[in-house]
Chain A
Amino acid sequence: MTAVAAKPAAGGAMNPTAMVVGLVLLVIILGICWKVSPGLGLMALIGMVVGGVLIGFGTHFVPVGGAPAAMGQAPGIATGVAMLAAGAGLAGLFGGAWAAEQGLVVAVVTGAIGGGLMMAITCMMVNFIYVFGMGIPAASGKVKVDPITGDTQPEFKSQGTEGHGLPFVSFVGGVIGGILAGGGGTLIYLMLLDLYKATLPTLMKATEAQIMPVAISAAGIFAVGMFLVNAVLTAYNITGTIEGPHDPKFKRWPRAVVASAVASALCGLAAILIVVV
């Protein structure tokens, strides 16, 4: 069985009505923003929606095994979906915020690489502890052959388990997830920072240098909050554990992308309204 041939698990079916309602909500929120702040505000909101979608989509790549992984009963990293994605994405946001002065593209890519780096180190150390601490090789429970390396998987699953550790495809998925989440979080931060830098001096009757600490803090807090909103939404979509891009649950991503877009638009609108109304 390949990832392409795999059928979505129960609960993975798309609901076209809900998707359409979500898209209509997104258009309405964008319309409200266009009405109150047609230039900078709308651009910032679109950037935040793109950032939120990157986080929501990227979280699907992160291999998370939850409690079963902690007992070597299932593959993946032994923690929660939202928490791991948040850890990686926020480490990326740290780097991206540092590079903010070097322009949008460099800062977003720096944030993405920061998230990817955090996941690469974590995934490597997870396999290290499984192999050298517990004597257990990596094995997937969802595919018979690793789609990247071609390694066979079932004979490396120990009896009575669904697999364990991180097969190479899960490692790659983790790094991709960290890259998308780190880039998305940084994009949200930069969009808000630009907006606050432009609007706060007038609002607070102060110079740009004086409002910078407030702008950076507010943008950072909103970026962290929106990051957690999107990561938790995706965790609900995944329902528990996921092995990575080869897992049948990965096919649920369109649902999370629409939900993330709507949630990011709503949160982003609130972040914009505090300075433009």
Chain B
Amino acid sequence: MESIVFGIGITALTGALATVAGAAEDTESNIGSQGDPNSQVQLAPQMGYLHRIFNKAIAGEPPAYGLWCALGAGLAWAFMAMQLNAVLAIVLGCVLAVFVQGVYSTTAYLGRTASLKKFGQPVFVDILKSMTTVTMAHAFIAIFCTVTLCYLMNAALGHPFPLPLLGLLWGIALGAAGSAVGNPYYGKERQYQNQKFGAGVPIAQSGNIVRYAEAGERNSLDNGFFTAKLGGPASGVCFGLIVFLELWRTILFEKIGAGWGAIIVGILIILIFTIIDRSIEVWARKTYGPYAVPTKEASS
């Protein structure tokens, strides 16, 4: 009984860490335009729209976070093998991983922006200095939370995978969840704030991203400020739910039916999310209505 209560406590803690990690990851990637909307940041100067948006997308979020979290976890693991205190080891490992992220961000921004020279896009040194440090700070939170939850899975819950491998797995899952949920909000809702609300961006408008703020030119800190209100927390909830429910069903129901208990609970959770998803879809169709009058051919 005590072990189950302990397991549930650790599960709740990992779920909370994952939620913070997801929110920080999405905000970091939005400030750095690392998700799919980077294509618009890169396209804008080619369409004649010069801007001051940071763009460090030379890898997708999942492989990038897979690298940084595996690096943080691997270094923490090495420090722990040197008899360093676990908390200190994780912090030091994550700090070193964040330096790699900083080098990556700097070279990525310079490389991507320098390639736009023939379209007249300047490399802004002040953007490089102010944005890189902010992405590093957010990346530290995301990496630290992910490595810590991996450590808890390994040390407290007894998962057989070593810490660096867990860092790689959950780093990739973190990037996948953060980019899936956060990208549309940054791409459609922020970069194309000048387009109609409640509709996709017409393909003809590609590249025409918003470049001016309330005062002066918009930069990526404004974008991070905006997406941290919904896209970031939603990504955090997504990753938090994934981690929490995966652990919760295993800790509580694995012993029932020689493992089949956790499987049945997993199927039930999938069905519940299916019902929620369908309800959201139907609610949107009824509440927002169609964009055009249904054609006879379409309804047949």
Residues from chain B with Cβ under 8 Å of A67 in the complex = 36-40, 187
Q: Looking across the interface, which residue of chain A has its beta carbon closest to that of B292? A: A155
Residues from chain B with Cβ under 8 Å of A103 in the complex = 258-259
User: How many chain-A residues does the 8 Å CB contact rule pick out?
Assistant: 86
Interface residue A87 (Cβ < 8 Å from any Cβ of B): yes
- A129 B230 Cβ-Cβ under 8 A: yes
18 sample A-B contacts, Cβ–Cβ < 8 Å, listed by A number: A73-B202, A78-B184, A79-B60, A83-B172, A84-B180, A90-B169, A94-B159, A120-B270, A125-B237, A130-B284, A134-B184, A137-B281, A152-B294, A152-B298, A155-B294, A157-B200, A160-B203, A164-B200
Cα(A149)–Cα(B270), bound, Å: 18
Interface residue A266 (Cβ < 8 Å from any Cβ of B): no
Cα(A99)–Cα(B205), bound, Å: 50
Instruction: Select which of A71, A80, A157 is within 8 A of B37 by beta carbon.
Output: A71
Q: Looking across the interface, which residue of chain B has its beta carbon closest to that of A160? A: B202
Residues from chain B with Cβ under 8 Å of A69 in the complex = 36, 183-184
B-contacting 9-mer, from A10-18, A43-51, A202-210, A215-223: A215-223
B-contacting 9-mer, from A32-40, A52-60, A110-118, A250-258: A110-118
Interface residue B189 (Cβ < 8 Å from any Cβ of A): yes
Instruction: Select which of B175, B203, B260 is within 8 A of A106 by beta carbon.
Output: B260
Cα(A122)–Cα(B178), bound, Å: 9
- A129 B231 Cβ-Cβ under 8 A: yes
B-contacting 9-mer, from A20-28, A167-175, A268-276: A167-175
- B270 A116 Cβ-Cβ under 8 A: yes
Residues from chain A with Cβ under 8 Å of B40 in the complex = 67, 71
Interface residue B269 (Cβ < 8 Å from any Cβ of A): yes
Instruction: Select which of B187, B258, B273, B291 is within 8 A of A124 by beta carbon.
Output: B273
Q: How far is the CB of B59 from chain A (nearest CB, A)?
A: 10
Task: Tell me if B's interface is mostly helix, strand, loop or mixed.
Answer: helix
- B176 A87 Cβ-Cβ under 8 A: yes
- B184 A130 Cβ-Cβ under 8 A: yes
Q: Looking across the interface, which residue of chain B has its beta carbon closest to that of A158? A: B199
Interface residue B228 (Cβ < 8 Å from any Cβ of A): no
Interface residue B204 (Cβ < 8 Å from any Cβ of A): yes
User: How many chain-B residues does the 8 Å CB contact rule pick out?
Assistant: 89
Q: How far is the CB of B269 from chain A (nearest CB, A)?
A: 6
Cα(A71)–Cα(B195), bound, Å: 11
Interface residue A261 (Cβ < 8 Å from any Cβ of B): no
Instruction: Select which of A72, A109, A155 is within 8 A of B295 by beta carbon.
Output: A155
Interface residue B87 (Cβ < 8 Å from any Cβ of A): no
- A87 B199 Cβ-Cβ under 8 A: no
Q: How far is the CB of A71 from chain B (nearest CB, A)?
A: 4
Residues from chain B with Cβ under 8 Å of A155 in the complex = 290-295, 298
Interface residue B173 (Cβ < 8 Å from any Cβ of A): yes
Residues from chain A with Cβ under 8 Å of B295 in the complex = 154-155
Cα(A162)–Cα(B200), bound, Å: 9
Cα(A127)–Cα(B275), bound, Å: 12
Q: How far is the CB of B109 from chain A (nearest CB, A)?
A: 19
- B168 A224 Cβ-Cβ under 8 A: yes
Residues from chain B with Cβ under 8 Å of A229 in the complex = none
- A136 B180 Cβ-Cβ under 8 A: no
Interface residue A42 (Cβ < 8 Å from any Cβ of B): no
Q: How far is the CB of A75 from chain B (nearest CB, A)?
A: 10
Q: Looking across the interface, which residue of chain B has its beta carbon closest to that of A138? A: B281
